[in-house]
Structure 1
Amino acid sequence: MPFTLATWNINSVRLREPIVLKLLQEEAPDVLCLQECKSPVDKIPTEGFAALGYTHMVANGQKGYNGVMILSRLPIVDAGRHDFANLGHARHVAARLENGVTIHNHYVPAGGDKPDREVNEKFGQKLDYLTDMRDDFHANRPERSILVGDLNIAPREDDVWDHKKLLKVVSHTPIEVEALAEVQESGNWVDVTRANIPEGKLYSWWSYRARDWDVADKGRRLDHVWATTDIAASGHSSRVVRHVRGWEKPSDHAPIFATFDL
């Protein structure tokens, strides 16, 4: 049975509950993965989601920071969470569908402003998180799995508005791009979004600092949908729902969708 999945950095699920409900009503994904929920699990506003048929949830939360959740109208079971790099952050949660597919939802550290771990602890945490992901996938090769989330790296030249200008900007530096490639290779992951949309500029994030984000269009593709090679070919119809970035009180990210025939 086909199912449609979406991933979205919501930047506070409680503050932006209205636009989560709007997305569920208008786009109706079967599974919605949210990052940067900024809420303890028991404070997540689930009643409105349940009223729309999204009665299943697994989440990993903390007060005011980070936080990831998987909301579904299909039955799911909790498949665990892992504290990558031992940061003590709620950045990963996993759920398993009845068809045996495991969905991993990640919120990789943003990495601060300076791409140098010697002067910027946050950048070091980001690299350590990616290294831990890589090593975990080497040790436990995933199968029938989908990985989504705000990975906070735009890997390709056409994933950013200006490749040359951003080479020394956190999220598009060569060391980050290489680290993400190692994560992808270690788990036999396929970038489903780019498999479906192989050419052209593609963004999922636009800074709040831009006076008119849509006209300036200085975006980056920080959000990703991957799948293991054994199921990647079933992924299709990938899209960025760009106009959501323009909703009232928006996140600075737009959701990314993909459908899987599994």
Structure 2
Amino acid sequence: MTEPKDTAGSAGNALAFDFGENWDHFSRDLVDAARLRAAAASLGDLVGRDRVAGARVCDVGCGSGLFSIAAATLGAADVLGFDINARGIAVARRNLAQLAPEAVDRVRFQQGSALDRGFVGGLGRFDVVYAWGSLHHTGAMWPAIENAARLVDEGGTFVLALYNRHWTSPAWTAIKVVYNLCPRWLRPVPNALFGGLIYLATWAVTGSSPLRKERGMDFWYDVIDWLGGYPYEYASIAEVKARVEPMGFTLTDARPPRVPTGCNELVFRRQG
């Protein structure tokens, strides 16, 4: 499951997947202290615990709020998570109250879109801007990245996780459109069918069980997120580097996905 999605439930896009609903079920069924610890470990490994501690952090497309809360547990001084999906924001606030009530004075959740330049421009600047698995679902990935980049303060860290470009990517776009056109009562069929295929393919590629998830996620909820995740865009590491570095950033870390269609993780540092 990729973290929060910026078009979920947005008006004007009848095919947009309701990520908030999936986050709600995931949170009610599975989110607990152990998953929060896993999320914090992942965040600390990718960004650096020293860079999160005492920092101002913005979680772009916060979804369930798990990584906003994780940032607080790592010592972030102030955390803002925003997402366009109203249900996702409600879920994030509920998770905060249940998982880390001691951090409610340091974590805020707000509804808003990464495509709304006015909204983004009013949020201020942050030491860490974390956009994991969200901006490729806005329907306008590159403008969303440009807006998110404006949130990064001088010397700050900009984290992007975006679907990798693969020869199968256009086919997956078509599958996602068909999935979202399916009536809800029919969706368990492709969930089971593709879930089994993805399970076998992932094990074949990685040599390990897909059920052993990183980042506190869950395989079966990830399957639903993947199949429904539309709008859907993708880019290679080289494409993202070529777009972001001219905005005043230096790529400091790039991690390819475990499976070819997964997310490239990129860490940029703002110059100055």
Q: Same fold (TM over 0.5)?
A: no
Normalized per residue, which structure has more helix?
A: 2
If asked which structure has higher relative contact order (CA below 8 Å, sep 6+), I would say: 2
What TM-score does the superposition give when structure 1 sets the normalisation length?
0.40
Normalized per residue, which structure has more strand?
A: 1
